[in-house]
Amino acid sequence: MKSVKDLVKAHGSIILLRRSLSLTPRALAEKTITIREAITQAMDEEITRDDRVFLMGEEVAQYDGAYKMSKGLWKKHGDKRIVDTPITEMGFAGIATGAAMAGLRPICEFMTFNFSMQAIDHVINSAAKTYYMSSGKVKVPIVFRGPNGAAAGVAAQHSQDYSTWYSQCPGLKVIAPYSAEDCRGLLKAAVRDDDPVVFLENELIYGQQFPISDEALSADFVLPIGKGKIEREGKHVTLASYSIGIKICLEAAKELEQNGIDCEVINLRTLRPLDEDIIKTSVKKTHHLVTVEFGWPQCSIGAEIIARICESDAFDYLDAPPIRVTGADVPLAYAKTLEQNSMPQVPNVLKSVKKVLNK
C-alpha cells in the first residue's frame, strides 16, 4: 500500500490532501523544507552556537550566496562571521585552513567544487594530512562545502563530480548528502567534527522539498558521519547510491515495483569513511547489487563498492556480477540532448536491474 506521504509528495494535489485527511490527520502537520533551507539553517545554528564558527567564500555575505545558500546570514551575524572573499580560491582556502589550524572552525565555501581544483593543494596537503604529519599536534577542524557535479547547461568545466577525487584521500571525511534531513544533520555534524570535512552538495536539488521531522529540526540534531541509511527497504536487489543518484534510484524503484521487483535503496550519506556494513548486509539479503552515481565510471565510487563486496564474504551471496550505473565517460556537453544522455537516467537503472536479475 502506498503511504500517504508518497502520495502527497508525488501529486501534491488538494484532492489527495482532502482524502488523506480522513485517513491520517498527521500528514497535514508534516513539515517540508528544501535542501537550501536545510543548509542555511544548519549554518545559521552552528554559527550561533559556537563563536569560533564562521563562513568564508565568494559572495557569501552581501550577495546572500551565489546559490542563496547563506541567505540572511550576513544581515544576522555581520562581517566578522560571514566573510566575502576576492576571487582567489587558493588564497582563501589557505587562509581558512590556517585559521582552522589556529583554533577557529571555518566553513569554507567553494562556489562550485570545480573551483576547488585551484585550491586542492590546501584541501589535501594542508588540511587532510596535517593531523597525521604532526602526530596529533595540529587539528584542522574545517568544512569545505559547495555544489558538486553537474548543474544544467553549464558545460564541461563547470560540471565535474569530485566525489572520487576527495574520497580517495585519508585524513578527509567526505559527505555527500541527499535529503534535507541528511543536509541538516550531516552539515551540523561536519562543523562540530574536529577533522577536515568535504561536504558535496548538489545544485540540481537545492530547491527540492523534503519532509522533515520535528526532531530533525531541533538545534542539536546531528547525524553520524560514516553511516548510511536505507531509504527504501526491498528484497530483490540492492541499489547503492548517494546524493542526486538517490533521486533516480527511488524513481526507478517505483517503476520496478509495478513489475514485481522490490528494490532496496541505500543512501550512503558519507563516502569516506564508507559504510561497507550497510551495503554488505543488504547484499546478503538481496543477492544482487547495482551501484548508481553521476560521476565518471573510471575509479568511481561504484568501482570501490564492488571491489569491497568482492573482497568480502558478501561475494558468496551474490547471484550475479554486480554492475555500475555512472555518468558517461566524456566531458559534459552543453546541448540539452547530449547533456541529458551523458548523465544517468531512470532507464539506465531499470536496464541494469533487469540485467542483474536476468529479466
Active site positions, annotated: 89, 158
CA distances from 54 to 188, 190, 200, 332 (A): 13, 13, 19, 34
- Element of type H or E holding 265: strand 263-267
Give residues with Cβ within 8 angstroms of 258, minimum separation 6: none
Number of residues that bind another protein (CB under 8 A): 47
**What would the x/- binding string for another protein be over residues 48 to 67, using CB under 8 A?**
------x-------------
Contact pick of 99, 111, 120, 353 for another protein (by CB under 8 A):
99
Residue type, 197: V
Amino acid residing at 190: A
Binding segment for another protein (CB under 8 A), chosen from 31-39, 223-231, 256-264, 330-338, is 223-231
Q: Which of residues 4, 43, 96, 216 is near another protein by CB under 8 A? A: 96
One residue of 33, 43, 73, 92 binding another protein per CB under 8 A: 92
**Out of 71, 227, 232, 284, the residue judged to bind another protein by CB under 8 A:** 227
Residue 284 within binding range of another protein, rule CB under 8 A: no
Shortest approach of another protein to residue 102 CB, angstroms?
A: 4
> How near is the Cβ of 187 to another protein at its closest, in Å?
16
Taking phi over 0 as left and psi of -120 to 50 as alpha, with beta for the rest, 326 belongs to: beta
**Angle between helical axes of 245-258 and 346-356 (0-180°, round to 10):** 60
Is the Cβ of residue 189 or residue 349 nearer to another protein in the bound state?
189
CA-CA distance, 279 to 302, in Å (whole number)?
12
Alpha carbon dihedral 240, 277, 221, 209, in 10-degree steps, equals 10
* Residues 110-149, mask of contacts with another protein (x by CB under 8 A): -----------xx--xx---xxxxxxxxxx----------
Cα distance between residue 321 and residue 310, in whole Å: 9
Q: Give the shortest CB-269-to-another protein separation in angstroms.
A: 12
Cell representation of residue 148: 558538486
Q: Taking a C-beta distance cutoff of 8 angstroms, is the pair 56, 85 a contact? A: yes
Do 101 and 140 form a contact (C-beta atoms < 8 A)? yes
Q: Please identify which residue in 13, 32, 48, 88 interacts with another protein, judged by CB under 8 A.
A: 88
- Part of the chain binding another protein (CB under 8 A), chosen from 200-208, 224-232, 241-249, 320-328: 224-232
* Kind plus residue range of the DSSP H or E element containing 244: none
Binding residues for another protein, rule: CB under 8 A, are 54, 80, 83, 85-86, 88, 90-104, 121-122, 125-126, 130-139, 170-171, 173, 193-195, 224-227, 273, 311
